[in-house]
Amino acid sequence: MTDIVANLIGITIFVLVIGFSIAFHEWGHFTTARRYGVKVTEFMVGFGPMIWGKQRGETTYGLKAIPVGGYVRMIGMFPPPKDAPADMVPTTTTGRFATLIEQAREQTLVEIGPGDRDRVFYKLPVRRRIVVMMAGPFMNLILAAVLFAVLLVGIGLPQVTTTVREVVPCVPTAANPFGDEVDGACPTGSEPSPASSADIRPGDVVLAVAGQEVQDWDELLSTIETLGIGDSAALVLQRGEQVLSTRVTVAEAEYPVLGDDGEPTGQTESRPFVGIRPDSAYVPLSLSEVPVFMWDITVQSVKALVTLPVRLVELTSDLITGEERDPEGPVSVVGVSRIGGEVAALDEPLKAKAAVFLGLAASLNLFLFLFNLLPLLPLDGGHAAAASYEGLRRQWARRRGRPDPGPVDTARMLPVTYAVASVLLVSGLIVIWADLVKPITLSG
């Protein structure tokens, strides 16, 4: 029962995190549009039926039922037809519209009141339109940077240490690969490990091996591997407030040889063996390391975006054929929230849970930033690309002494916009369905 409550709490927290990320994104659009004088009639988090709404000034703020996105409604997103009068502002919409483009443009113009003619989005200078559209994604980038900084500097990353988490009781053999005891003793053919014979205990901190101080696990491991099998080496340990010295005789253990795919090849190799397994601790990073870490995550996210269409096809195939789902495949907000619930229910310290939550939230916001940069309508990057094209077209006309070609008629791109939106909707539904019927879990 406690696990169920913790799981529900984790899901609720992550849904709130997603909602805040969406709201922060839309707030970027909202504040810059208002700053440049554009009239904003709606600020919504979510899609579908309205759960809550409030009119304040000229803007309606609301929360809708499906928290998979949001929007800010600005008047005058589409310009009037090129040959229309500059002050064309119809007050009604009548007659039969020949095309979807005309309907959308007419509806946009209907929203413009007599006092709003200079408060429309399409009249903004190109640079300001780009700022308005890019402000949303950059809010996600800022939020990702803050969350990564809190994670890396405030908590840190888990790193293995020289603290002993577990002492392996027996020297591993082919018949006993994990070095376990059987009925309180090492099985036939397996000897007690050097660590257990030397009375090394969980919680001991290894300070030095064979007279050489060790600062981390890699250094400890490399020092042990330089010893010969059968050599006797002194270990300096800290146990509580005491500093102790003991000796171990390095044993020989057979380890499986792994291939490039990480799977055993069936061969084994002999290595020096002492019999200690390390503990891990969260080690904070410096603030200067945050950009480097974010860049690495950004590169991985870009690769994931590039391969997203292929991964969606593979996911659809796995759902149809019943194959196991790729744990590295796409995950929806439903799946991420579900993982957040699992994290909350884990039997782990609060710091470990907080680290996973922060990592998930930061990675989500970084991905939202990158995804919205794609130059496709209806994404923010698509609107910014259209504005950039308009600016280039005007500069080209000016240099050639031609008349100003005017704003780019993005209404003509509506068929493409709806096609892209339909693909995104279907893709989202596929991933959501996969997260419901075949979810990715922490346990695999």
- What are the catalytic residues? 26
To the nearest 10 degrees (0 to 180), the angle between helices 126-149 and 350-372 is 160
Any residues with CB less than 8 A from the CB of 16 and at least 6 apart, and which? none
DSSP secondary structure of 268-284: EEEEEE--EEEEEEEEP
Helices (runs of H) and strands (runs of E) counted in the chain: 11, 10
Structure tokens at 419: 């096609």
SS3 assignment, position 189: coil
Q: Which residues pair with 110 in a beta bridge?
A: none
Instruction: Yes or no: say if 266 and 275 are a contact pair by the CB < 8 Å rule.
Output: no
Tokens for 171?
Answer: 């020297």
- In whole angstroms, what separates CA 307 from the centre of its chain? 16
Instruction: Count CB neighbours of 421 within 10 A.
Output: 15
**DSSP one-letter code for 125:** -
